[in-house]
Structure 1
Amino acid sequence: MRILLFLFLLFSISLFSQQAYQKPPKLVVGIVIDQMRYEYIYRYWDKLGSNGFKRLINEGMNCRNTRYNYVPTYTGPGHASIYTGSTPMHHGIVANDWFNRQGNKMIYCTSDTSVKTIGAQNNSGKHSPRNLLATTVTDQLRLISNFNSKCIGIALKDRGAILPAGQLANAAYWFDAVSGNFVSSSYYMDSTPSWLIQFNKQELPKKYLQNTWNTLLPIEQYTESFPDANPYEGSINAGSPGVFPYDLAYLHTKAGLGIIRYTPWGNTLTTDMAKAAIKEEKMGQTSYTDFLCLSYSTPDYVGHMYGAHSVEVQDIYLRLDKELGEFFAFLEKELGKENVLVFLTADHGGAETPSLLMDKKANAGYFPYQFIKDTVNTFLSKWLGSGNWVFAYENQQVYLNREAIEQKLNTNNSLYNGLSGNKTFINNTSLDYEEINQRIVDFLLSMKGVANAYTSKEIELYNHENNLATLIKNGFYKKRSGDIIIQFEPGWMEYNQYGTTHGSEYSYDTHVPLLWWGWKTPKGKASVNKVNITDIAPTLSLILNASFPSACVGNPIEDFFK
């Protein structure tokens, strides 16, 4: 009896130990697909192969209710939020670009003039993660491993490579459309790695652009999309309709190497680079866990140009599905499925083309570019007199010329000294700075297509949950955000009359796929429990036995560990 009890206790201790500590995978591969609507996998399901998206779903875990918990839903904030487990309120990447009040100019999210390009003789490498305020899960992996783990970011877009890899990364590589090279910056290294020199010498973009882009399947089988020629899409054929086939050699001569970003071979080039980095950097081949941050930028370029119902977008995903299948086979061969953990998600979704919705008599519409900036400035001029009262309008936010407005108020206060403490009388109306902000809000609310508008003070004081305004607050960082934040109605946007964009708080932009595969991922599990995009990083942190990123607000996904 004592022997049985001893064996039971020994087994229990052993089981507890296994649950308390699990050896992490040798390699984590984070895949972010730029502008992937949640529905694409299911819309194209019957045309997908068995080794790409379907393999992740059948052999892994599918979090079907994954949402972004802030706005604006853009590439920069999306990649930053996935890997920091935080929102722009804390990590500071409030958009791809924002107005910098210190220099009175626009600033790009990864721009860094203090560094130099590595890999090309131009300025394409003047980027770094210095504008990112919080650590990433990749940073935490570097710290816990005493900087022995390798963390590398790869994408066509600079921000898609830099922000996920974090502040302590070994490297980030992105595509330079002028030289056709993958480049980096002196933030990470002093010279180009020899393997990257050899990779770039292949001149793969030039080779791929000798292809003709035709559909993967016979075009009549693309029944999930609109006809190839339709009024809701743009075209990479300058001045010609966007119809198959596309003569890429001709387009190369007209638009340069950058045109590859609008073709399936943009994804192929990204995968080539990922395989090369894994092999040449010997990722996953030591006792320390390595992390590859991989972002596929091409779906965003094509989505913007052609829209969600185009044959071009469908073909991009059918080909990407095949590409991913080959990449997963590569990972399995090189390292073994049990040693690799893959997660796949998107940095945002994408809207339906408003002109399509308008033709179907649904609520939708367009605001012309710069319309709101010019209109608000004209409105203020009626109260304050002619002047440059609006510095910038970006990301549905109005950046006011605070100094000029306050100077105007102070000047008028001196004229009407004693009439009203902190107020001024303009056109016989008593106003102060906050009241001017509120009048702008009231004016904006009179516009068709505007659902709501808020002053920055309102957003700072907002404390309700489960409301779309909560997403606005989560995306607000006072030093970088505007004075007035505007919420459009569903289906409304500032964009061209063709193609589509993203950035809103609505489900078409915030609901994205999240798939897990490999290592100890639950097999064939589908969960409908709500997951915030900020929950990915703490989930990975537990898997890696690392601390949560510094500004993490997410929670581990419990279903992964059940």
Structure 2
Amino acid sequence: MRTIFVILVAFISLQSCFSNTRNPHQVNQPKLVVFISIDQWHRDLLERYQEHYTGGFKTIWEDSRFYTNAYHDHAATLTGPGHSVLLTGVYPAKTGITGNYFYDREAEEKLYCVEDHHSRVIGSDGALDETGVSPKNLLVPTLGDLLKDSNPDAKVFAVSGKDRSGILMAGKKADGVYWYESSVGQLVTSSYYEETLPDFIQSYNLASPVDKFNPKAWRRLKAESFYLQYSRQDLFAGEKLVGNKNFPYQLATKSSDDRYFYSMVKRTPFADQYILDAAEYIIDSQDLGLDDAPDLLAIGLSATDYIGHTWGPYSQEALDHMLRLDQSLGQFFETLTRQFGQDVVIALSADHGVQPLPEYLAQQGTDARRIPTMTLLDDIAAIESNLRFEFGFDEPLIEFKEESYPFFHLKLTPQQKRRFAEEVEKLDYIERVVIGDELDTSQDEVSGYVAKAYYQPRSSDIYWIYKENYLANRSLGTTHGSIHKYDQHVPIAFIGGGLKPAHVTESVSTTDIAPTLAHILGIDFDQFDGSALP
């Protein structure tokens, strides 16, 4: 397995040199920093269709400081952990966000990563009948928190397609965090930030901008022959079929209710256009970037993730979305440049990548398989039965808390735990088994990835590392979360601020994004895992 060092984001401060030995580039200290996370944006999606981009992705490729060899160099490459890293500059082991869900040992329950029983989700009509969410579970400050501490007049906002992406990027001191709630088709917030939805978001919701896509159909942007040349046939084995199964997708029918439409639209490129429209509205209505205090806006675009999970990253749907997002980002970049010139810095990255459909990989001649959930459970049960006899143990060796989180019996010795791991590693779809108790003494690369995502109060005892291109626990579609390159490799790019465009090929880490932006903003903070790099 390749060595992955660190993944970096880059920028250079106007005020001083970076703390490392590399030469910084001179950039303007911005009045506004806009950070965009494209959920499930694997690095290959930027390069694969490069010659066909004419908008925002072309700008990234040609006119940004683009880090081509950037990685989430940790395990748990999931939405929650990934977003917790991007604007904190530390690994999930310190953010405490070890998964989208995790088993809290002290509470003895499964928790959603931004779950908060003491807050409520607030919409235009008041509290929604849902479990509350907030940044309570985040253990470290975000860039926005540090910016508010250093300059109380600074404004910090986030808008996203998912609650966890916006909350975990914005942090605890944000002026406003809003996300698309598909049950009502509007932007909502948490009572952690505001007891009622503010008037300016109420006004935005009143216009019902998401409804403009109903009953619009999602059709291919180009001729079908283009998609057959650059992706694959439309109806493909392994896809999770939605609606009418292939292009064109009718977002709603006369007989469908609003909830179906609101849910379906998030699986289309229109969802990201909706969030970018909301971002422009927030910038204008809240006068971001117009005074001497620098402001921060974090944007979470989630459609790539929903589309990738459903149809796979090399589907016609994913290609069409990339072409449309290229146009939407191009228009958004132009708007920001027109408003702020060199006083705005735009940074982009992703929370994780994605594994291609195993069926697609197999078609290309790659050893790739789906591993049903019950296969692992059955194999574990057989191994456990044999070892219980060998150990003279009457009780189960492991317990699956909440049916998903494996823990060893407290009476097992370290040698018995290792013996169990070695038996599991004999399974033909398992690359490694990593034990939490061994992380302090393990020096290998795989254990290092797990250690960076291991926070004992919210982590299991055992980590199954599946072999590359082997997809577990998903009968259709695809997913992410592994230590393999397709899940770790993401783009990092910076635009504006007078930064000289370049392709930087050194290996860098997503933990470098926050310290780089902090240095640009003149924030002094020494507890990042990453570092500011050129």
CA contact (8 A) 1:69 1:532 kept: yes
Query: Matched residues in 1 for 2:182 and 2:527: separation?
Result: 34
Residues 248, 345 of structure 1: CA spacing in aligned structure 2 closer, same or farther, 3 A cutoff? same
Equivalent residue of 1:84, what SS? coil
Residue 296 of structure 1: how far off its partner (Å): 0.4
Aligned pairs, number: 504
Aligned partner of 1:283: which letter?
A: L
Does 1:399 pair with 2:406? yes
Aligned partner of 1:390: which letter?
A: E
Residues 29, 167 of structure 1: CA spacing in aligned structure 2 closer, same or farther, 3 A cutoff? same
Does 1:150 pair with 2:128? no
Query: Which runs of structure 2 are paired with 1:321-470 in the superposition (5 Å)?
Result: 321-334=326-339, 336-369=340-373, 371-373=375-377, 375-377=379-381, 379-380=383-384, 383=388, 384-385=393-394, 389-392=398-401, 398-400=405-407, 405-406=409-410, 409=411, 432-464=412-444, 467-470=445-448
CA contact (8 A) 1:252 1:259 kept: no
Match of 2:9 in 1: none
Cα deviation digits, residues 225-280 of structure 1 (max 9, x gap): 0011222322221xx4x311111122954834111110111111111111111111
Query: Matched residues in 2 for 1:18 and 1:151: separation?
Result: 22
Does 1:166 pair with 2:171? yes
Aligned partner of 2:484: which letter?
A: Y
CA contact (8 A) 1:377 1:390 kept: no
Query: Which runs of structure 2 are paired with 1:241-252 in the superposition (5 Å)?
Result: 242-250=245-253
Equivalent residue of 2:327, what SS? helix
Residue 18 of structure 1: how far off its partner (Å): 6.2
Residues 538, 368 of structure 1: CA spacing in aligned structure 2 closer, same or farther, 3 A cutoff? same
Does 1:60 pair with 2:64? yes
Query: Matched residues in 2 for 1:58 and 1:207: separation?
Result: 33
Match of 1:226 in 2: 232
Does 1:544 pair with 2:521? yes
Q: Equivalent of 1:80, from 42, 62, 84? A: 84
Match of 2:489 in 1: 511
Residue 136 of structure 1: how far off its partner (Å): 1.3
Match of 2:143 in 1: 137
Query: Matched residues in 2 for 1:234 and 1:363: separation?
Result: 21
Does 1:265 pair with 2:245? no
CA contact (8 A) 1:91 1:551 kept: no
Q: Equivalent of 1:200, from 205, 222, 225? A: 205
Q: Equivalent of 1:484, from 462, 467, 475? A: 462
Residues 374, 102 of structure 1: CA spacing in aligned structure 2 closer, same or farther, 3 A cutoff? farther
In the alignment, structure 1 segments of 5+ residues that lack a partner are 1-15, 410-431
Query: Matched residues in 1 for 2:70 and 2:343: separation?
Result: 26
Match of 1:422 in 2: none
Q: Equivalent of 1:296, from 282, 297, 301? A: 301
TM-score by length of 1: 0.85
Match of 2:22 in 1: none
In the alignment, structure 2 segments of 5+ residues that lack a partner are 1-12, 18-25
Aligned partner of 1:508: which letter?
A: Y
Residue 378 of structure 1: how far off its partner (Å): 5.5
Query: Matched residues in 1 for 2:482 and 2:119: separation?
Result: 33
Match of 2:504 in 1: 527
Higher relative CO (CA 8 A, sep ≥ 6), structure 1 or 2? Answer: 2
Query: Matched residues in 2 for 1:221 and 1:17: separation?
Result: 45
Residue 393 of structure 1: how far off its partner (Å): 7.7
Query: Matched residues in 2 for 1:486 and 1:18: separation?
Result: 46
Equivalent residue of 1:515, what SS? strand
CA contact (8 A) 1:70 1:475 kept: yes
Mean CA deviation greater in 97-106 or 473-482: 97-106
Residue 479 of structure 1: how far off its partner (Å): 1.4
Match of 1:189 in 2: 194
Query: Matched residues in 2 for 1:360 and 1:393: separation?
Result: 38
Percent of aligned pairs with the same amino acid: 29
Equivalent residue of 2:264, what SS? helix
Query: Matched residues in 2 for 1:191 and 1:258: separation?
Result: 24
Pairwise CA RMSD? 2.3
Query: Matched residues in 2 for 1:503 and 1:84: separation?
Result: 20
Query: Matched residues in 2 for 1:18 and 1:98: separation?
Result: 41
CA contact (8 A) 1:376 1:390 kept: no
Match of 1:12 in 2: none
Residues 170, 252 of structure 1: CA spacing in aligned structure 2 closer, same or farther, 3 A cutoff? farther
Query: Matched residues in 2 for 1:127 and 1:17: separation?
Result: 37
Query: Matched residues in 2 for 1:229 and 1:380: separation?
Result: 41
Residue 46 of structure 1: how far off its partner (Å): 2.4
